[in-house]
Structure 1
Amino acid sequence: MSFNELLDDLDQSAGAQAAGIRRGYGGPPARTVEVSSGLTRLRCASLLKPLYAWVAAGRIADAERWRRHAEPAVVVSSNADTLALWLSVGPRVILDDLYERTGVRWRPPNGDPSRFGSVEVAAGEVAAAYAVLAQAAATGDPVAAAVLGWMTEVPESQTFGARQAVGSADAAVKCGWYGGPDETCLRTHAVAVVPQGGTRVSVVVAMTALPYTDPYEREVYRERVNTGMSVEDRHEKLAGELLRGLMTRTMTELGHTER
């Protein structure tokens, strides 16, 4: 489906974005794709956890302690382990270090800076940052390589079918999903990194914030969050098809054969 077909029927209160980057020495000319509907920036949920883990390594002297928190933060999206990195290094330090490495500037959230998932981002920025991470891994950065490797281990139950959407069973994937008590939407985001050999890489990002206004459904969702139960099925039902459609279309626009 085209981007127009995917986005035209969205509710006026919805937000959706997709972005992609294909680049690398020795490959075809660099190409970028970006489309958005609604808000230009969205809260990032857990989409940036691998990037946080990458730069936090340089600020934590005990490598084993870093790995003990970084690996579950990426592989199973552990909030507790992400907080251990986010707060021990410091939100502003982590985001400043990301800017130094990737050229992408993000700021701590307003209000409570401990809420790492409230950083607001655009899909194109996320794609640009992950492209730097991927190419760093390809050229010998051991921390970047470890983080990207963990992304390949993210279980299918937490990917919303992103690997199938980009046509690569080996893609490195990270997703984020959440709906805050102050929001009338559920946010469901995904990034997939698809190595193309050497330093060549394709990165695809899709982000959605879709209305979730039914009082009963919201009450059930909040109860499940508060008791530590999984809510991925709620996000899949609401946003899974759109998320995958955006990712597949972005891969096609980057010049990859649609599968």
Structure 2
Amino acid sequence: MSFNELLDGLDHGAGAQAAGIRRGYGGPPPRTVAVGSGLTRLRCASLLKPLYAWVAAGRIADAERWRRHAEPAVVVSSNTDTLGLWLSVGPRVILDDLCERTGVRWEPPNGDPSRFGSVEVAAGEVAAAYAVLAQAAATGDPVAEAVLGWMAEVPDSQTFGARVAVGRPGAAVKCGWYGGPDETCLRTHAVAVLPHGGSRASVVVAMTALPYTDAHEREVYRERVTTGLSVEDRHEKVAGELLRGLMTRTMAELGHG
């Protein structure tokens, strides 16, 4: 299905983006893909947790302490462990270090800097940052290697079918999902990193913010979040099909069958 077919029927209040990057020394010419509908920037939910973990390692002297927080932050999307990195290192420091390494500049969220999932990003920026992570891992960065390894261990129940969408059962994947009390949408995002040998890699990103305005459903959603219950099924219902469609189309546009 084309990007136009995927995006044409979206509600006027919806936001959706997809981006992809293919690059690597000695491989085919680099290629980039980007498409968007609605707002140009969306809150990132948990999409950046592996990147936060990657740069936080250089700021935490105790490697075991770093790993104790970083691994569950990536593998099971632990918010508590992400906060352990985000607040101990500092939001501004983490984002400045990411900019230095990747060239991508993100700002701490307005109002409450502790809300790591409220950093606003564009899908193309996310793809660019993860491409640097992938190539760092390919050229021997042990922290980047560990982070990508954890992304490959993210359980399928937290991926919204992203691995199926990109046609790579063992892909390194991270998803983010949330709907804040101040939002009338659910945010559902995914990134897949696909090494191709040597320094070659592809990255596929899809991000959605789709209306979720039914008062009763929103109340049930908030209750489930507050009590620690899973809400992935709500996000699958609202955004799963679109998310996978965007990732599959992006893979095709990058030249992958």
**Which residue in 2 is equivalent to 1:28?**
28
Q: TM-score, normalised by structure 1?
A: 0.99
After TM superposition, give the deviation of residue 185 of structure 1 in Å. 0.1
Code of the aligned partner of 2:119: V
Task: For 1:73, give the aligned amino acid.
Answer: A
How do 1:140-179 and structure 2 match up within 5 A? Answer: 140-179=140-179
List runs of 5+ in structure 2 lacking aligned partners: none
What are the Cα deviations for residues 29-48 of structure 1, in whole angstroms up to 9, with x where unaligned? 00000000000000000000
Residue type matched to 2:68 in 1?
A: R
| CA-to-aligned-CA distance 1:165-194 (integer Å, 9 cap, x gap) | 000011100000000000000000000001
Counterpart position of 1:228: 228
- Name the amino acid aligned to 1:148: L
RMSD: 0.3
Query: In structure 2, how many angstroms separate the alpha carbons of the residues matched to 1:108 and 1:26?
Result: 37
2:196 is paired with a residue whose SS is: strand
1:43 equivalent in alignment to 2:43: yes
Q: Distance in 2 between matches of 1:164 and 1:193?
A: 13
1:201 and 2:201 correspond: yes
Cross-structure match for 1:245: 245
Distance 2:177 2:253 in 1: 25
1:63 and 2:68 matched: no
| Alpha-carbon distance, 1:196 to partner | 0.9
Residue of structure 2 in register with 1:130 after alignment: 130
Amino acid at match of 1:151: M
Map 1:98-113; keep pairs closer than 5 Å: 98-113=98-113
Which residue in the other structure is 1:17 paired with?
A: 17
Aligned length: 257
Residue in 2 that maps onto 1:53: 53
Q: Tell me the equivalent position of 2:183.
A: 183
State how far apart, in whole Å, the 2-side matches of 1:114 and 1:180 are: 14
**How many Å apart are 1:116 and its aligned residue?**
0.2
Cα distance in 1 between the residues matched to 2:134 and 2:8: 33
Partner SS state of residue 197, structure 1: coil
2:91 matched to which residue of 1?
A: 91
1:197 deviation in Å?
Answer: 1.1
Match for 1:8: what amino acid?
D
Tell me the distance in 1 between the aligned counterparts of 2:216 and 2:109.
29
Give the AA of the match of 2:157. Answer: S
Letter of the 2:226 counterpart: N
One-letter amino acid of the structure 2 residue matched with residue 191 of structure 1: V
Task: Give me the TM-score of the superposition, normalised by structure 2.
Answer: 1.00
2-structure distance, mates of 1:68, 1:218: 34
Distance in 2 between residues matched to 1:248 and 1:135, nearest whole Å: 22
Can you list the C-alpha shifts for 1:184-216, whole angstroms capped at 9, x where unaligned?
Answer: 000000000011111110100000000000000
Distance across 1 between alignment mates of 2:256 and 2:68: 37
Matched, 1:75 2:72: no
- Per-residue displacement from partner, 1:122-174 (whole Å, max 9, x unpaired)? 00000000000000000000000000000000000000000000000111000
Between the aligned residues of both structures, percent identity stands at 89
Question: Cα distance, 1:121 vs. partner?
Answer: 0.1
2-side partners of 1:56 and 1:252: how far apart? 34
Deviation at 1:99, TM superposition (A): 0.1
Counterpart CA distance in 2 for 1:25 and 1:166 is: 22
The 2-side partners of 1:28 and 1:107 are apart by 34
Q: Distance in 2 between matches of 1:146 and 1:39?
A: 34
